[in-house]
Structure 1
């Protein structure tokens, strides 16, 4: 927290990771909302290597420029020398909550890369000064609507050791920029760059992977497509059905009002006939007036909306009247003539169908002009503007689902035998933790709906099949007992739901700007409760002093599957793995933190490694 309070205000705006409210989703929001007309982009890929002594020395020199505390600098050196803290660059370990990553790594990486970020910021400012924005008001009158100016821009995003650079310029300018940044990283920062992966790509024709997601420049109409003809017909059908239901409801209300009015008049008539007057213990005039006023307003509103009814009444009240003849008017009293003229004026004012028809035509014309304007604006935007589409790598997700064993070779859900030793609630929590992490991580993606299907179908039914096989029952019996929402009862008999329900999954979207951990840690690990009389230990979670703990054995799923996380041909690309040294190690946890660990809200990085046990 000391380092964060000192350096956080000194970091550039495109530095993400290890900072408050500056996580993955904030970076993705910046890419989607701020980047305009990208033409070329590239990611700077570091070769997998440890943070060596030369990097530690340079880090300490950078920190000494702002911090005059030799004890703190010496402590950081000791942490690296004793290998209590280690940073693995260029791999799949940073920012994923793995135990091999120290919680202090993020802020130290940001401090180390700060000079590199400042260099990129200077290049961005220099490019902006050389290519200023053109105000449309400064253009000649004939060019204001037909000119589209695309200034040269440089965009950058860095999340820990992942670097993305985007330009809206030429390919040669992007090549020069890439060469300059690679030179800074190799000479000044003393990093080894993977030249094969650090290449520029066309933003429009090639996808690029960043932060575990796929990016591509597309037209605005692809992100917000217009309604199809089928959708338009369905919407018109829905509006017609809505009008019919409203008409039926209005007719039913009118019938009820007539019945109620007849009852009121019949009751009043009987009272008036039997007694001299109508007496009540309370005043009802205001209530009756209010009811009849509301009825009158609704009736008049419905009447005035109908042009045909207004035409008929206007014809009946204004045509063929003998009082409009001059020789008749001269023989009548002036008061009667004035009253008739006033009446005709009110008839023309409220019942004239020509004015009503003209107003309806104007409304239709305005709606058509608005639709044409929207269509023209969308067409111009498609021709002159490019946006960034962010998608979840569905093929990688499907490979991970198949690799762990959620589905068989045909892509259908299957049970996982390794989980049958767990309690029912723990099995559901394990599946729920993976499902919620995937949903939270990819909620900002354009194809989020397809990922919902994977979670709501493959994971849900794999969990149901695992529970069914554990209890030696059928899938229908498991669904009848747990329901599709996977409800489970606790010790007190209260039903709880851990797995996201179908309705909850359907309503999920891009709402929260969070920095969720990827699913890697939860996907490749399970905790099995030991049936032994071990002495009570303190809970291994940080800042937890509870001693009513249970010992669990850590089982990594890649070991029973005989998979090597470094073999990219068999392993899922871009997915990290917990270090094999933790396999079959034991950890004491209280009931609250084991539940949090299963649900993915807690990671092994939030536990004390000194509390790990060796139990045969």
Structure 2
């Protein structure tokens, strides 16, 4: 190494500049070694005599940079930059094996390399948010690489299985640490080979092409569609599918040993890939790291087939008379395609006016057609035939073709996609006037119902007073109905009990229905029956006049508007909505709300520390803000955050510390600021809240983490010296102060809804105990890591 001495005089400076000038002729511009060590040494005897070895200019400059700016002052790489850096190092080794149009011997030349395995292990640790400077696990990468190179790596001894408890036995096979590292190395190598060749219609587990890009494509790029239908797959990977996958991969990769390892992983049960259930997981343990890339490779065959079918229906089919006007609105690509056709097919009759769009998010597929229903049915039939015959996949044949203007919409990517009418400003003004009149009538109706209930409660109170007075002999009226039925009163029966019995007999006589509420009974069956008929007629006549006025005025004003104004500016747009009904059901299932929908204390979390309780609720808010901030009904999501999640967090802390809710808000004011309140949204600070969240996840680099759901954990025990425990997160060697129990709350069917919670954890995980350090418990709750980062074989 060059001796890094401080240059103290001008002569020494001149020596360095002379040294640089002397090496200008020896610079190789094609190679740069900045940052590497320099093997030559500088020997200085006096100011006029300098003897040096041959060295490149880049090496000299590197030494000057090292001397002028210490390594400690360099800006550290963030998580995504570090992950990208590790994958680029493996990418160079993979590209070196490209010969004669194929990649050769990836297992022997790339995967079975200690440096590749080390980079793959660091990549796994980056996913687990573990500092790479920390101590590594006891893995001998040289020995592991030798086992792979010689074919002596035993998969069966590097996996472990966990089974469900109870009568219904379900077994889940998971890889251990060494198997995880090998799978990660294979995944990165396959990403290098296939990432440039994937179709543009495929989204999911790709950099810049995740769920948000799929939704944006459907909402903004598809113009005036007529029909759409989802394709719901249902098939677990088997030998037939794996053979088709390998035969596809052989066109780009020549490596029999790679395919042998894939067969061995399938036979061992560690290759957990299920079509139709993959999108339900999003970072769960049952999804191996190889699943996303293998699924994209396999379904790339479908992507290419759908492009061929779209060209067939858009270019070669006979035109529909109702769509001949659309013949001129052709894209340049389709025009070029038609110019390439033979003279016999090159005519205007070959332009059908049909448009076929497809969007695939992993194994979720949505087909959108602009054309007749007959064309859509024929296309659907051809797609299903190809899926069954060529890809050997099963699907839900009951899926129907829906018109795009159907109010129900279509389920895709965990949300509801609908086509709604965006009216012209003139029509919106008419509807705004109608809404004002309806709001006025609604306010009067609410005031009427509130008055009826208040009067009925006074009537009940008056009746209870009469019952009490009947017990006083000199106040009792022996001629009243109450005195006539008093002989039915049992001896020793309390006054309030006797009054309830009378009300129960009256309700049975009225033949009430179970769904009738208390307010309905009080207002409709007690108060309104006693009111004068003129008063009731005046109120209901007013309400009927409002309804007739709104409908008649709307129709009359719209007819007066110019027809061009209505037709030219009123257009259908595609919007996306979050599943509010399903979200509310999950809030009740996880104990955040009660049956009536009111927030309550989540008793499962009471034993956790207060900061982890807030982190758990903060994880819900972070996921909702990341997933739903572009939804049309985001205002209702904000209302759920302020009215349900935040209040449930406060009540959970109040239950833990046995304090009033107002005192909890004062005590944990700074921590609770992470859960937005209604004032935050009123002050228009939601943009700053969104910017404070890390929304720049790269799904291609951190698969499963951006869209992983929140897992429910409860405190099992505190770790003692007699029973020590280490954090279960891969690569983490920190001591775990507590052991937690996993609770599996639900298993949803496809298509799954995104509700903020883990939707489809394998039942074998229920009741499993894991040890987590304080930092990784926080990361799991907030969503910086997923359950895939936890090694479940660490518990002994």
How far is 1:53 from its partner? 1.6
Name stretches of at least 5 consecutive residues in structure 1 with no aligned partner. Answer: 137-148, 235-374, 488-496
Deviations 1:465-508 (CA, angstroms, capped at 9, x unpaired):
0100111122222122223x644xxxxxxxxx543465666544
The answer for the alignment partner of 2:420 in structure 1 is 218
Q: Separation in 2 of the partners of 1:110 and 1:567? A: 19
CA distance in 2, matches of 1:546, 1:501: 38
Matching residue of 1:125: 311
User: What's the TM-score once normalised by structure 2's chain length?
Assistant: 0.51
Q: Judging changes above 3 Å, is the alpha-carbon distance between structure 1 residues 581 and 378 closer, same or farther for their aligned structure 2 residues?
A: farther
CA distance, structure 2, for counterparts of residue 599 and residue 16 of structure 1 = 25
| Contact persistence 1:32–1:389 (CA under 8 A) | yes
Q: Which residue of structure 2 lines up, in the alignment, with residue 32 of structure 1?
A: 219
Kept in 2, the 8 Å contact 1:428–1:486? The answer is: yes
Given candidates 326, 349, 370, the residue that maps to 1:168 is: 370
| Larger relative contact order, structure 1 or 2 (CA cutoff 8 Å, min sep 6) | 1
Question: Residue 606 of structure 2 aligns to a residue in which SS?
Answer: helix
1:435 maps to 2:621: yes
Residue aligning to 2:596: 410
1:134 aligns with 2:335: no
C-alpha spacing 1:91/1:83, structure 2 compared with 1 (3 Å):
same
Separation in structure 1 between the aligned mates of residue 414 and residue 426 of structure 2, nearest angstrom: 23
Over 3 Å counting, the alpha-carbon distance change for 1:538 and 1:477 in structure 2 is: closer
Q: Following TM superposition, by how much is the alpha carbon of 1:135 offset from its aligned partner in structure 2, in angstroms?
A: 5.9
Matched with 1:493 is none
Q: 1:460 to 1:176 in 2, by over 3 A?
A: same
Distance change (3 Å), C-alpha of 1:529 and 1:52: same
Offset, 1:93: 5.2
Structure 1 residues 222 and 117, CA gap change in structure 2 (3 angstroms): farther
Match of 1:588, SS state, is strand
Aligned to 2:762: 579
Could you tell me how far apart the structure 2 residues matched to 1:477 and 1:589 are? 31
Summarize the alignment of residues 195-214 of structure 1 with structure 2, pairs less than 5 Å apart. 195-196=397-398, 198-205=399-406, 206-214=408-416
Q: How far has the Cα of 1:151 moved from its partner? A: 4.0
TM-score, length-scaled by structure 1: 0.64
Native 8 Å contact 2:744 2:761 kept in 1: no
Taking a change above 3 Å as real, the CA distance of residues 500 and 603 of structure 1, as seen in their structure-2 partners, is farther
1:218 partner SS: strand
Counterpart-to-counterpart distance in 2, 1:574 and 1:91: 16
- 1:46-101: per-residue Cα shift (whole Å, max 9, x none)? 23x42112111111111112101122222222222111221122236545111111
Cα distance in 2, alignment partners of residues 566 and 32 from structure 1 = 25
Distance 1:547 1:38 in 2: 55
In structure 1, the residue corresponding to 2:208 is in which secondary structure?
A: coil
- On the 8 A contact 2:705/2:786 being kept in 1, the answer is no
1:55 paired with 2:257, answer no
Q: Name the CA distance, whole Å, in 2 between partners of 1:204 and 1:518.
A: 34
- Deviation, 1:599, is 0.8
Which residue pairs with 1:554 in the alignment?
741
Question: Who is 1:490 aligned against?
Answer: none
Moved more, 424-433 or 92-101: 92-101
Distance in 1, matches of 2:771 and 2:657, equals: 28
- Name the structure 1 match of 2:190: 3
* Aligned partners of 2:646 and 2:677 also within 8 Å: no
Contact preservation (8 Å) 1:155, 1:166: yes
What's 1:45 paired with? Answer: 232
**CA pair 179-60 structure 1, distance change in 2 beyond 3 A:** same
User: Which moved further from structure 2: 431-440 or 548-557?
Assistant: 548-557
Q: How many residues align?
A: 442
Q: Contact (CA 8 Å) 1:95, 1:106: kept in 2 or not?
A: no
CA distance in 2, matches of 1:4, 1:517: 16
C-alpha change, 1:228 and 1:133, in structure 2 (3 Å) is same
Farther-moved stretch of structure 1 (519-528 vs 222-231): 222-231
Tell me which of 285, 288, 294 is aligned to 1:102.
288
Residue 224 to residue 177, structure 1, CA distance change in 2 (3 Å): farther
Equivalent residue of 1:219, what SS?
strand
In the TM superposition, what is the alpha-carbon distance from 1:228 to its structure 2 partner?
8.1
Give secondary structure in 2 for the equivalent of 1:453: helix
Moved more, 506-515 or 431-440: 506-515
1:598 aligns with 2:781: yes
Matches within 5 A, 1:46-85: 46-47=233-234, 49-85=235-271
Moved more, 168-177 or 8-17: 8-17
In structure 1, the partner of 2:661 is 475
Please tell me whether the aligned partners of residues 279 and 363 of structure 2 are also in contact (alpha carbons under 8 angstroms): no
Match of 1:499 among 675, 679, 688: 675
Offset, 1:173: 0.3
- Whether the 8 Å contact between 1:549 and 1:591 is mirrored in structure 2 is yes
- Secondary structure of residue in 2 paired with 1:609: coil
CA distance in 1, matches of 2:298, 2:240: 12
Counterpart CA distance in 2 for 1:444 and 1:418 is 32
Q: Give yes or no for contact 2:711–2:757 (8 Å, CA) kept in 1.
A: no
More displaced stretch, 582-591 vs 427-436? 582-591
Contact preservation (8 Å) 1:522, 1:598: no
Following TM superposition, by how much is the alpha carbon of 1:220 offset from its aligned partner in structure 2, in angstroms?
3.4
Q: Distance in 1 between matches of 2:658 and 2:778?
A: 26
Once the two structures are superposed, residues 570-613 of structure 1 have per-residue CA deviations (whole angstroms, 9 ceiling, x without a partner) of: x99997221222233233333322211111221111233333x1
Equivalences for residues 340-359 of structure 1 within 5 A: none
- Output the CA distance in 1 between the equivalents of 2:651 and 2:202: 44
User: 1:441, CA displacement in angstroms?
Assistant: 1.4
Structure 1 Cα separation of the partners of residues 696 and 377 of structure 2: 33
Q: Is the 2:606–2:656 Cα contact (8 Å) retained in structure 1? A: yes
Task: Give RMSD over aligned pairs.
Answer: 3.8
Q: Distance in 2 between matches of 1:536 and 1:223?
A: 68
CA 1:53/1:557 → structure 2, altered by over 3 Å: closer, same or farther?
closer
